[in-house]
């Protein structure tokens, strides 16, 4: 289970870093459905990158734990 979660986190982190335009489209769609105006800012882009890097780090830690046979 740790390996699967680790792979999902690494893939999701890479997606957050690489596919910001697609994520912005989804965010804009969610905001529009709530009746809220959207404004893509540098802060939003930076937070996507930081979240992606953190997800990759946690995913790698979980994969290392999985391959070392840790029973968490």
pLDDT tens-digit map of 46-57:
999 999 999 999
- Structural contact between residues 49 and 16, judged by C-beta atoms closer than 8 angstroms: yes
The CB density around residue 61, as the number of other CB atoms within 10 Å, is: 13
H-helix segments, 1-72? 2-18, 20-34, 42-67
pLDDT tens profile 3-31: 999 999 999 999 999 999 999 999 999 99
- CA dist 43 and 49 (Å) reads 10
Average pLDDT over residues 31-48: 94
Q: Which domain holds residue 15?
A: 2-67
Q: Would residue 72 count as lying in a domain?
A: no
Q: In total, how many domains does the chain have?
A: 1
Q: Would residue 58 count as lying in a domain?
A: yes
């Amino acid at each position: 289970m740790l390996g699967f979660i680790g792979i999902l986190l690494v893939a999701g982190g890479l997606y957050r870093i690489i596919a910001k335009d697609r994520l912005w489209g989804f965010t804009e769609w969610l905001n529009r459905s709530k009746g809220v105006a959207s404004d893509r800012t540098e802060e939003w882009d930076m937070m996507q990158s930081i979240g992606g890097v953190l997800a990759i780090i946690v995913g790698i830690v979980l994969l290392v734990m999985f391959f070392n046979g840790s029973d968490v």
